[in-house]
A and B are shown apart, each in its own frame.
Chain A
Amino acid sequence: MTLSIWGRWALRTVMALGLLFIYLPLLLILVNSFNGDRTFAWPPHDFTTQWWSAAWRNGGARDALWTSVRAGLGATAIALVLGTMVAFAVQRFKFFGRDTVSLLIVLPIALPGIVTGIALDSAWRSVIAPLGIGKGLFSVIVGHATFCVVTVYNNVLARLRRSGVSFEEASADLGASPTQTFRYITFPLLRSALLAGGLLAFALSFDEIIVTTFTAGPGIQTLPIWIFNNLFRPNQAPVVNVVAAVLIVVSVLPVWLAQRLAGPAAGASRT
């Protein structure tokens, strides 16, 4: 854009301030995880690594992390299967209500989390609990999978749209069975889309707190729930802070992975 030198500088300043606004709070967490003072007196007077070792020894945090990973993997697996199936149906077939299907997929993430949460909770209590299946890790996975389907669906759909059917037709013309075509053509075409969608689904599940609050059975604590439960306990503050710092550092990983795999556009949309 043709901008005056002042206009350029003004925009540059806003950009810099915006980035500061985004990153300063995260930086604060990282610095505070080494803050020697238990109440995070600012500016920090001495630095220590004792909170990191305390967090490492904290059984509650480690159990919660493990629960989160299991819930995330379960939800991602279901989302991968369901999301791919719907994407194929919507992209490769014409049928009545196709637009409604895509709307239905987006709905769980478009509605406020608390609505999805209490809906699943009351449905579980009135329909599934009488069958003898109480809430536990399984109900968390069901809840998470419901809103994770959309990420896989979006990624696979976009890939199917771009790649078309000519490769598969060529494969069939050359005498490959449908199974062979899927194994050697369709799946390799989809692989990176599945990975990107799966990564997003896992991240979404790993971070989710509201739906988890309503679907978790007694004793099931995912990492966000653990953080939230310990947030208001002053003597737990340093350990919570270290866990938060770890999560910030770890969050760089998927971005780096997506970069390596598919360029900057890959992680562009979380929904």
Chain B
Amino acid sequence: MSFFHRHPRLRLAALLSAPMLWLVVAYLGALAVLLVSAFWTVNGFTGEVVREFSLQNFRTIVTEEVYRNVTLRSLGVAVAVTVICVLLALPMAVYMAKVASPRARHWLVIAILTPLWASYLVKAYAWRVLLANGGPLDTLVGTPGYGLFAVVIVLSYLWLPYMILPIYAGLERLPDSLLEASADLGARSGRTFRGIVLPILVPSIFAGSIFTFSLSLGDYITVQIVGGKTQLIGNLVYANVGAANNLPFAAAIATVPVLIMVVYLTAVRRSGALEEL
């Protein structure tokens, strides 16, 4: 112990070696292998992986209409889910942070946090029951049934707290005096909201959108549960790993959401969204 104490560099090495061995060698190594295998192909005859560089997988993804459609559909779903979450989360967070009494605020935060601990699968399952033919929603108002619409609703439901919390945190830091100053200068609440609250909240909203966007892009379980015949990128990856047994092609498709996320992250980074996570 005292030997380590006198040699801080050794101490650092001792602290970092095990975690880095795990994350760099095991995890990054695995990711690198996956990325490389995206350039391999599978021999259609024998099912063996051909370990030679080829762009064929990517050519297929870009040229064939199915893959373009699925990519666009997944993007559309991610955007729709993000927009729905923002529209719902904004008024809820404003109420929590600026209107509710401190005591009510405490309980509201707990009420938003608690469902995060409930199982993802259980929540998706709840919607499967809710949306079923002859289920509660059907008896009351009629159900849209399983499909793309249901996927958007359920994903919005699942990720809503991830949007509320950063916006709420952003609002909590916004001093009331700023809002009072705006009111004193004659701005109505609508104008205060557009001119002061919204611009300050932009990084928080982006931070929330990173969750809603990335989680929606990678999902395939909810799609299987309430999506009917709908397919998103995740389903294609899953089908190619499992049924089709074409890991190289699955890896190639999997790079699509990763690429989209990298582009998205670099785009929102300037707003300071990453510090809000």
CB distance from B255 to the nearest CB of A (A): 9
Query: Is A118 a contact partner of B22 (Cβ separation < 8 A)?
Result: no
Interface residue from B34, B134, B157 paired with A42 (Cβ < 8 Å): B134
Given contacts A8-B99, A240-B125, contact A259 B110 (CB under 8 A): yes
Q: Does A82 touch B at the CB level, under 8 Å?
A: yes
B214 contact set on A, CB distance < 8 A: 110-112
CA distance A203 to B122 in the complex (A): 14
Query: Is A114 a contact partner of B1 (Cβ separation < 8 A)?
Result: no
Q: Does A126 touch B at the CB level, under 8 Å?
A: yes
Q: Does B108 touch A at the CB level, under 8 Å?
A: yes
CA distance A11 to B29 in the complex (A): 49
Chain B positions 110-151 with a Cβ under 8 Å from a chain A Cβ: 110-123, 125-130, 132, 134-136, 138-139
A231 contact set on B, CB distance < 8 A: 125, 128, 225
Query: Is A268 a contact partner of B113 (Cβ separation < 8 A)?
Result: yes
CA distance A105 to B22 in the complex (A): 11
Q: Does A160 touch B at the CB level, under 8 Å?
A: no
Query: Is A264 a contact partner of B106 (Cβ separation < 8 A)?
Result: yes
Q: Does A48 touch B at the CB level, under 8 Å?
A: no
Query: Is A2 a contact partner of B189 (Cβ separation < 8 A)?
Result: yes
Query: Is A119 a contact partner of B31 (Cβ separation < 8 A)?
Result: yes
B127 contact set on A, CB distance < 8 A: 25
Query: Is A95 a contact partner of B125 (Cβ separation < 8 A)?
Result: no
Query: Is B261 a contact partner of A111 (Cβ separation < 8 A)?
Result: yes
Chain A positions 25-40 with a Cβ under 8 Å from a chain B Cβ: 25-26, 28-29, 32, 39-40
Query: Is A118 a contact partner of B19 (Cβ separation < 8 A)?
Result: no
Question: How many residue pairs, one in A and one in B, have C-beta atoms under 8 Å apart?
Answer: 255
A82 contact set on B, CB distance < 8 A: 18-19, 22
Q: Does B86 touch A at the CB level, under 8 Å?
A: no
Query: Is A25 a contact partner of B91 (Cβ separation < 8 A)?
Result: no
CA distance A116 to B31 in the complex (A): 7
Interface residue from B5, B109, B254 paired with A178 (Cβ < 8 Å): B5
9 contacts between A and B (CB under 8 A): A2-B179, A24-B130, A26-B123, A42-B135, A95-B12, A118-B251, A123-B26, A227-B121, A248-B119
Q: B residues near A, CB below 8 A?
A: 1-2, 4-5, 8, 11-12, 15-16, 18-20, 22-24, 26-31, 33-34, 37, 88, 91-92, 94-96, 98-100, 106, 108-123, 125-130, 132, 134-136, 138-139, 157, 160-161, 165, 169, 176, 179-180, 183, 189, 192, 197, 214-215, 217-221, 225, 234, 237-238, 241, 247, 250-251, 254, 257-258, 261, 277
Further 16 A-B residue pairs, CB within 8 A, beyond A118-B34, A251-B118: A1-B192, A2-B180, A11-B99, A15-B91, A40-B135, A43-B136, A82-B22, A83-B19, A85-B16, A93-B12, A101-B16, A114-B234, A210-B218, A227-B119, A247-B122, A270-B116
